[in-house]
Structure 1
Amino acid sequence: MARSDTNTSMSRRHFMAGLGSGLTSAILLQPLDLLKTRVQQANHRSFAFHLKQVASSPGRICAFWRGTVPSALRTGFGSALYFTSLNTIRQRISQTSHWAGPGSLNPRFSAPSSSSLPKLSPWANLLAGAVARTFAGLALMPLTVIKVRYESSLYSYGSMLHASRDIYATGGIRGFFSGFGATAIRDAPYAGTYVLIYEFLKKQLSVVATKGSASPQDESHISLKTTQAGVINFTSGVLAGGACSVISNPFDAIKTRIQLEPSSYLNMYQACHKMVSQEGVRSLLDGLVLRMSRKALSSALAWTLYEELMRRAEHGTSPSMRYIQVTEFN
């Protein structure tokens, strides 16, 4: 019973940490997300055109944050579900020696490096990230559709209720899941590859940050400042997010078209063929720079805040916790 209560408490911590990190990143970076959606519309307009259009709107500050509510709800609860399910999956996998990373099953090497997450093998990180993101994406798909339409200039919704009614009237329940195929194909590889690269970079950067910090006899337990851990996590997040955005951008562009104009873009294959034949391959790269900027920053912010919130929840914020143990990098 006590173990069940502990697991429930830990799940609650992961959920709240994910919710807080997701809400923060969504609100701060909403202008980039809005402009990315505008650029991906089928109107062949440039980034400069949309930036000028939004900036010249009445109440331009509010205009840049149009769609913040559905975006924050979608990203906040999406991050909460993602991090909670990711932790559950990784905890289960870490108990299997075949998938566990070096030191994860050895009590001598049980302390984290710059992370409170369990150590897994590269393939396990890839699988865990992909499964967790697909699950969260499916659960939050209705909010994703509403968010995209809010951000577009093709619709003028006054409220989320208005948007929901319009989507249901034109597409029924299926309308709330428009573009899920493209979203899943975009998110599963993105999330899986992101976790893989993120964990790899954290490991390498931790080695660099602590090089020469301990004698050879004490290499297993090196003190790493929490400020260093934050920089390592953020840097790893930016680099991993930028790299994965390039790979997944075509699916994001296709997904946006399907969600904005489901009557014109019926499915992923037809949408891709139509975009390439009518607008060229370049249409699949629409919004790439904006998406790279937004995803790199949002992923870095979300993961850094999440890991810091989890560390504080698990260990407290006393001065004695200004250092964390770094163990076995090899």
Structure 2
Amino acid sequence: MSIQELVVMEEVDYEGLPGGSLLDNLMAGAFAGIMEHTVMYPVDAIKTRMQIVNPTPQAVYSGIANAVTQISATEGARSLWRGIASVALGAGPAHAVYFSTYEFVKHKLGGNIGDEHHPFAVASAGACATIASDALMNPFDVVKQRMQMHGSTYTSIGDCAKQVYKTEGFRAFYISYPTTLAMTIPFTALQFTVYESLSKVLNPKKKYDPFSHCAAGGAAGAVAAAITTPLDVIKTLLQTKGNSPDMRIRNSTGLWDAAKIIREREGMKGFFRGIRPRIVTTMPSTAICWTSYEMAKYYLYGRNSSQS
């Protein structure tokens, strides 16, 4: 890259551009999604196990550190990475759709006009983005959580998908989709709104600034994760119910039925199982996701501007 191209990239107000091209957003989103999900995967595996209702005695953990120690000692540290291939396959395309939809809808709703804050456009764009991406990601997430469970016997993500389809049918891959949307739409709306709001404060000049992107992304993820944890617990029950020895759980029919089971078994505190690993996972992963996305966007937009 020449000095002239670097100068052009430095002068690009990439936040002020109308969302960039579809290809740029697809590539930036895919890069961000893969980075987000792979770096914090072991903590996500612990979160899944801690959210299981009526776990086996060998899978009861008092906290993140205890879970790491116990799992590493009894199953080996590699077990914390079981199912990551499912995330690697699904996260790239899902986040490509996620960010490209977000940028498109935000632009259409006037979210890129002037220096003013546009919370409605941002929240609406975030909601549309998650509806589209979750439709693609949900089956991969089901496979991931089945493989993360204690005592999982699946030999690969292909074997897991095949067995789930054979024993429970195609519906098993989407039974949690309504719950996922009920969780991720407010999660995404909150995340994008907090991120954009904090970015206005931390980066008023709207320049490429990894520190402000990282700080705003982490804070946005933590807030959204804490508020939506109850729905994440319900989602986990629905996505792992086929492997439960409890027939009441195996026969749960959807969001409200799963919520009723959790309330009956564990009370209101049951809806906040795994909140700490969820925040610990989400805070850095969203920071990584936004920083990666903004970095990719900065490079791609700047490259295109220098070529035009």
TM-score (normalizing by structure 1):
0.78
Q: Is 1:66 matched with 2:82?
A: yes
Q: Is 1:256 matched with 2:236?
A: yes
**Partner residue of 1:247?**
227
**Partner residue of 1:128?**
125
Deviation at 1:11, TM superposition (A): 1.2
Distance 1:154 1:185, change over 3 A: farther
**Partner residue of 1:279?**
266
Question: Secondary structure of 2:180's match?
Answer: helix
Structure having the higher helix fraction is 2
Which of 37, 50, 63 aligns to 1:39? It is: 50
Question: Secondary structure of 2:109's match?
Answer: helix
**Partner residue of 1:288?**
275
Deviation at 1:72, TM superposition (A): 2.2
Query: 1: distance between equivalents of 2:128 and 2:102?
Result: 8
Q: Write the letter of the residue equivalent to 2:105.
A: I
Q: Write the letter of the residue equivalent to 1:29.
A: M
Q: Write the letter of the residue equivalent to 2:221.
A: G
**Partner residue of 1:188?**
185
Cα deviation 1:1-60 (Å, max 9, x = unaligned): xxxxxx9x8211111111112112222111111000010112352244532332114542
Which of 25, 34, 42 aligns to 2:36? It is: 25
Contact 1:38-1:50 at 8 Å conserved across structures: no
Query: 2: distance between equivalents of 1:154 and 1:276?
Result: 25
Question: Secondary structure of 1:261's match?
Answer: helix
Contact 2:83-2:156 at 8 Å conserved across structures: no
Cα deviation 1:204-237 (Å, max 9, x = unaligned): 1124xxxxxxxxxxxxxx695x4xx111111001
Deviation at 1:181, TM superposition (A): 1.3
Deviation at 1:168, TM superposition (A): 0.8
Question: Secondary structure of 1:140's match?
Answer: helix
Deviation at 1:299, TM superposition (A): 1.0
Query: 2: distance between equivalents of 1:68 and 1:79?
Result: 16
Cα deviation 1:267-293 (Å, max 9, x = unaligned): 111111111111111110011011111
Contact 1:145-1:178 at 8 Å conserved across structures: no
Query: 1: distance between equivalents of 2:252 and 2:126?
Result: 29
Deviation at 1:159, TM superposition (A): 1.1
Q: How does 1:1-330 map to 2 (within 5 A)?
A: 10-43=21-54, 45-48=60-63, 50-60=67-77, 62-94=78-110, 100=111, 104=113, 121-207=118-204, 226=208, 229-262=209-242, 263-316=250-303
Distance 1:56 1:128, change over 3 A: same
- How large is the Cα RMSD of the aligned pairs? 2.4
Structure 1 unmatched ranges of 5 or more:
1-6, 95-99, 110-118, 208-221, 321-330
Moved >6 Å (runs of 4+): none
Contact 1:90-1:120 at 8 Å conserved across structures: no
Deviation at 1:91, TM superposition (A): 2.0
Deviation at 1:311, TM superposition (A): 0.7
Q: Write the letter of the residue equivalent to 2:61.
A: S
TM-score (normalizing by structure 2):
0.83
Query: 2: distance between equivalents of 1:238 and 1:265?
Result: 34
**Partner residue of 1:3?**
none
Cα deviation 1:243-288 (Å, max 9, x = unaligned): 1111110000000001101524321111111111111111100110
Question: Secondary structure of 1:178's match?
Answer: coil
Deviation at 1:317, TM superposition (A): 11
Deviation at 1:73, TM superposition (A): 2.2
Contact 1:17-1:309 at 8 Å conserved across structures: yes
Contact 2:225-2:278 at 8 Å conserved across structures: yes
Distance 1:280 1:249, change over 3 A: same
Question: Secondary structure of 2:227's match?
Answer: helix
Deviation at 1:305, TM superposition (A): 0.7
Kindly indicate whether structure 1 or structure 2 has the higher relative contact order, using CA contacts under 8 Å at least 6 residues apart. 2
Percentage of pairs with the same residue: 25
